Structure 1
């Protein structure tokens, strides 16, 4: 465990209390879970075939798959800030991006965040390096172009930043959750700054995205929450709605260093958040861990490296 890894005060007991009023029946929930898992498995099986297609078709297939997964798990989606005007029953196409790559950054609440962002912005995710060693999932992640970061090795950070920069320069979208931790949505973690150096070095814009859920608790994937428990809580929740707000691009060159760029992206996301409900003062901060066991507050599947001094370019100061 490294002292510089992010922390979050969220736990399932505090953030995801059970409510009988919002629960669907066990049989219906079981059907949702089975349908969602089948959709996930089908997408995994077809991934090697999809990798052979040209980028535009591959993106459309990815959007179709992630929309199907989300709907089968019983989650409705509402989108703001995209065109055409969103409706509760349809996920619109995202606003057009500028030529070249773009760094997409979002707050992080749940494992659902990943397919949600992919419905609008298919791209290359940043994941902790442990994922590469996971059976099946590691292979799928590599086939999907996932970029990996060794969270507990600060000296490996410059190489990660260079990989992100190169992907952005090549015209890829790179999706990052720069809080470096899953939060329950009642509050938000600080955006760590290292990945924003890659956007500066590549000369690309940053696209902030705000993710929220109503009701808030069932989707939160925090603390010592096992994935199986989180999946079951999600399918049990009747009327669970994901709300995505696509925020204006932060153009390349508007901010001189990664820290100011990270703060600008964080402010954009925070300003669109609903009124916060403070967590109890007795909540214990949970330190991020880099393991492939149950998800913990700062060990969600897709993680961002922590920030470091922001004076020079990543080529000089991140070594």
Structure 2
């Protein structure tokens, strides 16, 4: 019965995603394309999924209101909807996401910037695209670990995005995301379908989302270190405290 409940939730997620894409298409046809329109519709989509999947989010800290570079640790594909449900934003994502059924199309329509991390040219073009999104007033979410990790703690950060922020004086907002159930982490060779079905056999899925203070530092390496330290500190509070997620 629990597995059947999970299948129902997966079909529902696909249905909501397709309906959201259709509504976005109608809105664009009616009023024209704009980054604000796409970002706000993406936030509505994420909020609907969070509620329907019974993901309980305890949010702390100040949410950026305009054009910030949001830096987060990365645990799962669920990170995207958890963060996106709280702010209008675009994401930096691996190019492989483009090939995902339904969700790849949603990502392409949702201001997502894709990058091939093995290509220096692709990384440069991605940074330019991110700078354009930020100039349009759209916050951009980046997972600078470059992959998911189970934790505790956080992996080392990649360099490039921090030098962009330092050079252009872009505010960097560190965000820590922590799930009550450590099995929520989607890592290594985990396949999406069995992982999703396992996660949503029971509910709710309790999550803590912590926004740190905005950072403005004109040295890329120092900015990277400060963001990493901020997220590590927030994660330590969530992961060490027995009461952090309602235990």
Give the TM-score normalised by structure 1.
0.66
Aligned ranges 1:1-319 → 2 under 5 Å: 25-51=2-28, 52=32, 58-82=38-62, 94-97=63-66, 101-134=67-100, 136-217=102-183, 219-251=184-216, 255-274=217-236
How far apart are the structure 2 equivalents of 1:162 and 1:46?
29
- Work out the number of aligned pairs and report it: 236
1:246-282, Cα deviation, whole Å (9 max, x unpaired) = 111113xxx23212111111111110113668xxxxx
Q: Select the structure of larger CA radius of gyration.
A: 1
SS of the residue corresponding to residue 182 of structure 2 reads coil
Structure 2 stretches lacking a partner, 5+ long:
241-247
Asked whether the equivalents of residues 75 and 240 of structure 1 are also in contact (C-alpha less than 8 Å), the reply is: yes
Instruction: Output the CA distance in 2 between the equivalents of 1:109 and 1:243.
Output: 12
CA distance in 2, matches of 1:233, 1:129: 26
Mark the runs of 5 or more structure 1 residues left unpaired by the alignment. Answer: 1-23, 83-93, 278-319
In 2, distance between residues paired with 1:54 and 1:162? Answer: 18
Query: What is the CA-CA distance between 1:135 and the residue it aligns to?
Result: 5.3
Whole-angstrom distance in 1 between the partners of 2:160 and 2:233: 22
How far did residue 102 of structure 1 move?
1.4
Q: Distance in 2 between matches of 1:57 and 1:243?
A: 28
Runs of 4+ in 1 over 6 A off after TM superposition: none
| TM-score with structure 2 setting the length | 0.84
Deviation readout 1:23-73 (Å, 9 max, x if unpaired)? x83344343333333223322333323444665555443322211112222
Root-mean-square deviation (CA), in Å?
2.5
Aligned equivalent of 2:244: none
Q: Is the alpha carbon distance of 1:38 and 1:246 closer, same or farther for their aligned partners in structure 2, counting shifts above 3 Å? A: same
